[in-house]
Amino acid sequence: MTENDLMLTSILDCRRVDLALNKGYLTSSQKLKCDLMKARRAEGEPLQYILGQCDFMGTALSVDQRALIPRPETEILVDLAIEKIKSMREEKTLNVLDLGVGSGNITIALLKNIVNITITALDISDDALALAKENASANYVEQKIQFSCRDMLAYLKDSAHSGKMFDVIVSNPPYIPAGLIHELPEDVRREPRIALDGGEDGLRFYRTIIEYGWQILDPKGFLIMEIGDGQHDAIESIFARYPRYAVIHFYKDYVGTKRVVIARMDAQWKN
């Protein structure tokens, strides 16, 4: 669908096929809405913020400037996480930790696809958490989520000290090197910097998550993260500092870039 069609289906609250039937007829208020949307877009705002919605794993999620817009590549992480969690065949309810929940896309998709899990959904941004809560309640999964507005490092340290354990950790952390943010397309730069900025080399959050991950993961559990372009070698070297990780495996995205990493402590694991 073209951006214009997406704006029209949103304004008319109809499907694409219905646009042909409508024959381009808009009331004056619909025309005004359409012009406003086009003006916002021309001014560089991301299309999804203008529409107020985006599709993730077949679910319409509300999106706005409070959080990062879910990307199609992140569906690869979710598909892998679903497959691996289901293959654990546990009878008990599994505890999942989502570090940097953003709009709630990963957490909600996991809960919609797997019955026996509960998720601790962490974000440093109150705004992002408010949006994630709205999305969770619109999808009837909020009772299975414990939301926490915390800095990830502080949370991981506390959990490691208190012996709190998880079966699975998922994360799509900010991973753009700080110095490259100004080179991102105009619309991406409209997304919250806090959701993009991965520190000087983009690896800041991986260092934190990998350092503490093994300390709070069940030995049969796993850590699954989305990674940035070309970061796999550096991330592999970070994992190598912590010998408790026995198996590290990278998975490619639709264009052949290594996009997701899964780490396990259990050397028996075969991907």
List contacts with ligand GLN (CB under 6 A).
68, 71, 172-176, 188, 196
CB closer to ligand GLN, 122 vs 196: 196
Q: Are 228 and 171 in contact (CB under 8 A)?
A: no
Least distance to ligand GLN, CB of residue 184, Å: 7
Q: Are 120 and 165 in contact (CB under 8 A)?
A: no
Closest CA to 143 of 133, 153, 131, 157: 133
What whole-number distance in Å separates Cα of residue 261 and Cα of residue 232?
8
Structure tokens at 248: 């590290």
Least distance to ligand GLN, CB of residue 166, Å: 20
CB closer to ligand GLN, 11 vs 51: 51
Least distance to ligand GLN, CB of residue 86, Å: 25
CB closer to ligand GLN, 167 vs 197: 197
Indicate the length of the chain as a whole number: 271
The three-state secondary structure class of 167 is strand
Least distance to ligand GLN, CB of residue 187, Å: 10
CB closer to ligand GLN, 99 vs 176: 176
Structure tokens at 219: 């030995």
CB closer to ligand GLN, 174 vs 221: 174
Least distance to ligand GLN, CB of residue 172, Å: 5
Quickly list H helices, the chain.
3-12, 16-22, 28-42, 47-51, 74-87, 105-113, 126-138, 152-162, 186-189, 204-216, 232-240
Q: Are 102 and 132 in contact (CB under 8 A)?
A: yes
